[in-house]
């Protein structure tokens, strides 16, 4: 038996129970239901035709048979049964029991949706949203999501929230986005719980509230959402909405990292790198940085490059370090740019050192600002300029860099600045 995501909706469809066939189905007496439903179905009873289709589709009281299921759903749908029309649309959309045909899927979703079937309204919205079988139309997608959402359909509430959040098909409105995320989140939708948490964390559509953000990240994370697990780790890591707890941060980073979430893999590597929430372990740091770096995460590429520079957890390898740092620097990673400056400086390549320090310093990297000031003070790769040196020292000092502060004092003591 094929298990399609849309089959989940069968459990939520409120089918009417009006005859003996329905009673037997409701009682889960499927073998008896098969005989009785077949008799009713042959006589043209739409609900019996739909129930017979369900039994063939799901293998209740008989072997699963998509072709037979399609036959009876079609008969029921043609007799106006909204549930059968919805299922028929889904079978056409997935190519189950019939050749895939998005145009026909839309036809039957539309028929069902116009009768108020929430799942069909949601799926019709998806077809307009994605442009499958029909010209993409965000306005119509929003219309059908709204219809479904107002009936309490959680997935539609989530998607409607997304439409308001992005301003697709409707005027952007963070307040309404948060409203619909809340509705869906309260129904247990993990993605909506995550987006609601983001709304609280950013203060978009709701007053910024890290405690509420933490609550909804937790709800979503407990359902296995990797993004929520990562963000929950960040909350514990930084102490936002909760007391700082590196052990909990490590736990949630690990959960997310094991699902392949690159940012979590990098952060987990950092926890091992610096011994936060766990014993310092460079081998584990290298392992997780590598996992993340392979997915193109610039922070991980930079962090792994630094370990190769230092020889921590790996054999020291400057060429390997440079390769990783260059990959990160191409993504404008300021740490990578700074460390490339260090490598160039060690090779007395002051021109490149100045370039990389400058790129990093302009992104606010304190150590790069310090080193850039030093190069201007000492005419390394550039004409000596005390004023510019002082400006970079000051930028670094403003971030609490004590060496930069000392260098400014030294310039004053020598009478080079006021």
Could you identify the residue written with the tokens 């309204």? 121
30: part of which helix (H) or strand (E)?
helix 30-42
Establish if 391 belongs to a structural domain: yes
Using an 8 Å Cβ cutoff, are 156 and 183 in contact?
A: no
For residue 418, what pLDDT is reported? 87
Phi, psi of 278 (to 5 degrees): -165, 170
Q: Is there a domain that residue 264 lies in?
A: no
Q: How confident is the model at residue 9, as a pLDDT?
A: 53
At 157, list the tokens.
């509430």
Assess contact for 190 and 225: CB atoms under 8 A: yes
The secondary element (H helix, E strand) that includes residue 393 is: helix 386-397
Distance CA 176, CA 50 (A): 37
First to last CA, the chain: 82
CATH number of the structural domain spanning residue 389: 1.25.40
Q: Position of tokens 């063939």? A: 56
In a domain, 364, yes or no: yes
Helix ranges (DSSP H) in 43-151 = 46-58, 66-78, 82-94, 102-113, 118-130, 138-149
| pLDDT computed for residue 161 by the predictor | 98
CB within 8 Å of 294: residues ≥ 6 apart: none
| Contacts of 184 by beta carbon, 8 Å cutoff, 6+ apart | 154, 155, 157, 158, 161, 191, 192
To the nearest 10°, report the CA torsion of 27, 30, 33, 37.
120
Predicted TM-score of the model (pTM): 0.89
**What single DSSP character describes residue 9?**
G
Query: Residue 373's domain spans which residues?
Result: 350-418
CB neighbour list of residue 215: distance below 8 Å, 6 or more residues apart: 197
DSSP letter for 280, please: -
Domain-located, residue 376: yes
Residue 179 placed within a domain = no
Work out how many domains the chain is built from and give that number: 1
Residue with tokens 């890591």: 237
| Residue 389 is assigned to a structural domain of this protein | yes
CA 57, CA 170: separation in Å to the nearest integer?
A: 38
Classify residue 124: in a domain, yes or no: no
Pair 153, 187: CB distance under 8 Å = no
Sign of the four-CA dihedral 68, 72, 78, 84: negative
User: Alpha-carbon torsion 134, 139, 142, 146, what sign?
Assistant: negative
CA nearest neighbour of 85 among 47, 106, 111: 111
Is 14 a member of any domain? no
pLDDT means per 10 residues, the chain with 418 residues, are 45 50 90 94 94 95 95 97 97 95 98 98 98 97 98 98 97 98 98 98 98 98 98 98 98 98 98 98 98 98 98 97 98 98 96 98 98 98 97 98 98 94
**Quick check: helix, strand or coil at residue 166?**
helix
């Amino acid at each position: 038996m094929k298990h399609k995501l849309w089959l989940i909706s069968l459990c939520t469809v409120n089918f009417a129970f009006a005859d003996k066939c329905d009673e037997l189905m409701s009682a889960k007496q499927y073998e008896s239901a098969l005989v009785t439903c077949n008799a009713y179905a042959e006589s043209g009873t739409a609900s019996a035709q739909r129930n017979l289709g369900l039994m063939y589709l799901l293998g209740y009281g008989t072997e699963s048979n998509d072709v037979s299921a399609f036959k009876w759903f079609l008969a029921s749908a043609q007799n106006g049964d909204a549930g059968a029309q919805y299922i028929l649309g889904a079978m056409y959309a997935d190519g189950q029991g019939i050749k895939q045909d998005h145009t026909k899927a839309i036809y039957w979703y539309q028929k069902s949706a116009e009768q108020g079937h929430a799942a069909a309204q949601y799926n019709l919205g998806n077809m307009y949203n994605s442009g499958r079988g029909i010209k993409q139309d965000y306005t119509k997608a929003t219309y059908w999501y709204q219809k479904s959402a107002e009936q309490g359909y959680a997935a539609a509430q989530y998607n409607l929230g997304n439409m308001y959040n992005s301003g697709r098909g409707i005027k952007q409105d963070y307040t309404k986005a948060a409203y619909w995320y809340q509705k869906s989140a309260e129904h247990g939708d993990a993605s909506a719980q995550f987006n609601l948490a983001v709304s609280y964390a950013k203060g978009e559509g709701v007053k910024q509230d890290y405690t509420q953000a933490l609550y909804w990240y937790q709800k979503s994370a407990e359902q296995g959402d990797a993004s929520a697990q990562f963000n929950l780790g960040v909350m514990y890591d930084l102490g936002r909405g909760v007391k700082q707890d590196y052990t909990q941060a490590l736990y949630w980073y690990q959960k997310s990292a094991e699902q392949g979430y690159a940012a979590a893999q990098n952060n987990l590597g950092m926890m091992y790198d610096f011994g936060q929430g766990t014993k310092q372990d460079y081998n584990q740091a290298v392992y997780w940085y590598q996992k993340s770096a392979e997915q193109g995460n610039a922070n991980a590429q930079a962090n792994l490059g630094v370990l190769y520079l230092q020889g921590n957890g790996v054999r020291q390898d400057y060429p390997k370090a440079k390769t990783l740092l260059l990959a990160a620097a191409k993504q404008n990673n300021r740490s990578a740019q700074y460390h490339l400056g260090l490598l160039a400086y060690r090779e007395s390549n002051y021109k490149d050192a100045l370039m990389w320090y400058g790129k990093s310093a302009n992104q606010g990297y304190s150590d790069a600002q310090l080193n850039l000031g030093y190069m201007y003070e000492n005419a390394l790769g550039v004409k000596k300029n005390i004023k510019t040196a002082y400006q970079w020292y000051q930028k670094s000092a403003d971030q609490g860099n004590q060496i930069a502060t000392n260098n400014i004092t030294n310039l004053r003591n020598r009478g080079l600045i006021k």
